[in-house]
Amino acid sequence: MKFSPSWIGVAISRVMRAAPVISAYAMNKKGLETLRRLIDELGAGCLTHVVSARDPNVDQDYYDHIRELCRRAGVAHFDRTESLSHATQYALVVGWRWLIEDPDVQLVVFHDSLLPRYRGFNPLVSCLLKSEPELGVTASWGAREYDAGDIIAQRSIAVNYPMKIAQAIDLIAPLYAELAIEIVRTLQSGRPLPSRPQDHAQATYSLWRDEDDYRIDWRKSAGQIQRFIDAVGHPYKGGSALVRERKVRILDSCVHPDAVVEIRDVGKVLFVRDDLPTVVCGEGLLTLRDVRDDETGEQLLPLRSFRTRFT
């Protein structure tokens, strides 16, 4: 059987129209890992373009890594401040912090929790602060109310404590990639993505955080403070305190066996052993293993004075 060139051209154009056009809005380490795995396993052609942005709230935002990955793979890269020249039908949204106003694009939003719990901001930090026994990722359809769209798929992983935020990110980043690969493969097959409504009655919310929320409350128990320090550490700024009006960042700590302190003036140093100060908490004692100047990053241990109070 022979086909005319014009018939072949029509057939190819129909196939091209049928293929889904998929892009990504991606930031930070989870975005990088998701893009890398997608390109490695499905090829660069699975994405028409990537939009990313710098994140001043973390030590390392992986923006340059994402841009370089796109350059090497031949995938168009745009900064969020640039005008897009590529159309898309679906967009994978990973670690994004801004509204995406485009009625022609179906958004698949990835979120750091098992929805409907922990909708909103910094859900992974909140999960660690609450000592959740498992962490998870949800892919859902974008909706007008944040994180309220129908659930497409979820992945979870059991965790043990103590757990630092950097470790938690390393644990869930592969879950993002697994979900993204599954979703893109489904779209490429022409099958609809299965989804189910959330049980809105079970929804809980995680609030946005600002500089005030990094401040350590020494009235809490040593275990609670350690979890807090772990949850807001690298790549975030780290738990903060004042030492003689100087702002410091406490990046590492461990619970110390308690002692009888007759009057618990919280924040005061009780012991210094191996150059590490142990501080009185509302309940228990906490040994500080990494204390830095907020502005310079200078290591401040050992302390210059035993009589130091953290406020």
What does the pLDDT read at residue 87?
A: 80
What does the pLDDT read at residue 83?
A: 87
Q: Mean per-residue pLDDT for 38-61?
A: 95
Gyration radius (Cα) of the chain, Å: 24
CB 225 within 8 A of CB 122: no
- Name 22's bridge partners: 90
What does the pLDDT read at residue 85?
A: 77
What does the pLDDT read at residue 20?
A: 86
What does the pLDDT read at residue 57?
A: 86
How large a percentage of the chain has pLDDT more than 90? Answer: 88
Domains and CATH numbers, the chain: 5-206 (3.40.50.170), 211-293 (3.10.25.10)
Of 5-14, 41-50, 277-286, the one with minimum mean pLDDT is 5-14
Task: Report the C-alpha gap between 198 and 218 in whole angstroms.
Answer: 38
Q: Measuring CA to CA, which residue among 133, 141, 111, 109 is closest to residue 124?
A: 111
Per residue in 68-118, pLDDT (tens digit) is 999 999 999 999 999 887 788 999 999 999 999 888 899 999 999 999 999
Of 18-32, 135-149, 189-203, the one with minimum mean pLDDT is 18-32
Task: Report the C-alpha gap between 34 and 11 in whole angstroms.
Answer: 33
Cis peptide before 194 (omega within 30 of 0): no
What does the pLDDT read at residue 11?
A: 37
What does the pLDDT read at residue 101?
A: 85
3-class secondary structure for the chain? CCCCHHHHHHHHHHHHHHCCCEEEEECHHHHHHHHHHHHHHHCHHHCCEEEECCCCCCCCCCHHHHHHHHHHHCCEEEECCCCCCCCCCEEEEECCCCCCCCCCCEEEEEECCCCCCCEECCHHHHHHHCCCCEEEEEEEECCCCCCCCCEEEEEEEECCCCCCHHHHHHHHHHHHHHHHHHHHHHHHCCCCCCCECCCHHHCCEECCCCHHHHECCCCCEHHHHHHHHHHCCCCCCCEEEEECCEEEEEEEEEEECCCCCCCCCCCEEEEEECCEEEEECCECEEEEEEEEECCCCCECCCCCCCCCECC
Per residue in 199-248, pLDDT (tens digit) is 999 999 999 999 999 999 999 999 999 999 999 999 999 999 999 999 99
Q: If pLDDT is split at 50, 70 and 90, which confidence band does 7 have?
A: very low
CB 180 within 8 A of CB 34: yes
Average pLDDT of the chain? Answer: 93
Q: Decide if pLDDT at 12 tops 60.
A: no
Q: Mean per-residue pLDDT for 13-25?
A: 69
Q: Decide if pLDDT at 8 tops 60.
A: no
How large a percentage of the chain has pLDDT more than 70? Answer: 94
Q: Decide if pLDDT at 305 tops 90.
A: yes
Distances from the Cα of 282 to the Cα of 47, 190, 216, 285, angstroms: 52, 58, 12, 8
Q: What are the structure tokens assigned to 152, written together?
A: 């497409």
Per residue in 169-213, pLDDT (tens digit) is 999 999 999 999 999 999 999 999 999 999 999 999 999 999 999
Q: Decide if pLDDT at 163 tops 60.
A: yes
